[in-house]
């Protein structure tokens, strides 16, 4: 029989923002419990115990509600937008005799054969969705990539799953690739001729500007001389 992390909870009677703030000040997290056919319940969870639970690697937890031991999943976690503190949690009851969908972390194992040809291994998907009984939820699924060849990829359908576990993610979901390294694009060197040509063009432009200035001054002087002649 599988063992589950026991999550300490309390039933709370009130609700609202002020009560939620008070719970957080006292080291607790406001939560709600849902199950089809049952009334929703307001709960409070010890903050430290909850943080341990979500980092335990488990997805199914044991709780005591109304003198009954039941099994739940964390359906949703709301975080503070700045501090990332857990603000609220939604819990959902599950039946251990019913199959459910779980998101399972993937762990790569082995060295891809394509590495010998210079390939770079890149993990594209870190989790896959599978359907299984809550008693059979694995903490992770190992993916053997030793047969991954150069310039190829492994899809979700190629993963060896545990017994009584069915793939829910799309079969063609790319899990890991082994591709050639990306070539670095180096900037093209500027030829000396291009530099000299550019400098020559700048010099020509300057000379043209000087000549234009001189030609503008010449007619002005002639006009001044004509005016002097007329006055005399």
Per-residue pLDDT at 92: 93
Q: How far apart are CA 20 and CA 64, in angstroms?
A: 21
Query: How does DSSP classify residue 148?
Result: P
Q: How far apart are CA 8 and CA 96, in angstroms?
A: 20
Q: Indicate the pairing of strand 41-46 with strand 100-109.
A: unpaired
Q: How far apart are CA 216 and CA 223, in angstroms?
A: 12
Closest CA relative to residue 136, chosen from 94, 75, 84, 80: 94
Average the pLDDT over 133-159 and give the result: 95
Per-residue pLDDT at 192: 58
pLDDT digits (tens, 9 = 90+) for 191-208: 655 555 555 555 555 555
Per-residue pLDDT at 185: 62
Helix (H, G, I), strand (E, B) or coil at 156: helix
Using a pLDDT cut of 70, give the percent of the chain over it.
78
Rounded alpha-carbon distances, angstroms, from residue 162 to 72, 94, 106, 111, 232: 22, 21, 13, 22, 116
pLDDT digits (tens, 9 = 90+) for 71-126: 999 999 999 999 999 999 999 999 889 999 999 999 999 999 999 999 999 999 99
Residues in the chain: 232
Task: For the sheet with 141-144, list strands across it.
Answer: 141-144, 100-109, 127-132, 166-167
């Amino acid at each position: 029989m599988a063992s589950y992390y026991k999550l300490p909870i309390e039933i709370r009677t009130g609700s609202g923002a002020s009560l939620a703030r008070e719970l957080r000040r006292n080291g607790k997290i406001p939560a709600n419990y849902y199950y089809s056919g049952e009334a929703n319940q307001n709960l409070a969870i010890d903050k430290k115990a909850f943080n341990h639970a979500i980092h335990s690697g488990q997805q199914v937890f044991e709780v005591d509600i109304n003198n009954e031991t039941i099994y739940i999943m964390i359906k949703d976690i709301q975080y503070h937008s700045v501090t990332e503190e857990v603000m609220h949690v939604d819990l959902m009851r599950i039946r251990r005799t019913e199959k459910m969908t779980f998101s399972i972390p993937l762990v790569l194992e082995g060295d891809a054969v394509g590495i010998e040809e210079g390939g770079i291994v890149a993990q594209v998907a870190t989790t896959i969705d599978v359907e299984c009984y809550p008693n059979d939820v694995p903490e992770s699924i190992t993916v053997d990539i030793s047969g991954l060849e150069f310039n190829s990829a492994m899809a979700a359908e190629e993963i060896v799953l545990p017994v009584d576990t069915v793939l829910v993610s799309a079969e063609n979901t790319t899990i890991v690739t082994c591709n050639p390294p990306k070539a670095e694009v180096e900037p093209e060197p500027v030829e000396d001729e291009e530099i000299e040509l550019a400098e020559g063009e700048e010099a020509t432009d300057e000379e043209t500007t000087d000549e234009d200035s001189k030609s503008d001054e010449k007619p002005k002087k002639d006009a001044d001389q004509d005016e002097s002649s007329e006055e005399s």
